[in-house]
Structure 1
Amino acid sequence: MIWILVCLSKADLVYFWPMWVAGPWGVLLVIATIGGLSRGEPQRWAEKQASRQARRQERRRRRGGY
């Protein structure tokens, strides 16, 4: 956002310096995402969510609600 405001205030495109901040973090996030996908994290997360939902429904059923 700061880079965009600087460009607008100068009415010219200036050197895209945010890449030095966003670039390394982007690379780390991509590596972490690929690692998580290769270990099956989305499936584990979905199983954990389904288990939580089942426990919630069981508690509601025991209480006489829902």
Structure 2
Amino acid sequence: MPSSTRWRKSSFSGGGDDNHCVELAVADGKVRLRESDTPATALTTTPGRLATFIRTVKAGALDDLS
């Protein structure tokens, strides 16, 4: 992954270095997700699949997994 990749985190995460959160980046038409405390590991998906996942979570379809 290029070092010029611009990672973004939610404004809800706060501004300190110890605020662990999920970060997103877009590169080459793909969406990359990573945890701020383990930045070397990233998941890659498409915008459409991420949108489907978010809708599924918001609908509560995964609530019974816990």
| TM-score, with length taken from structure 1 | 0.31
**TM-score of the two chains, using structure 2 as the length reference:** 0.31
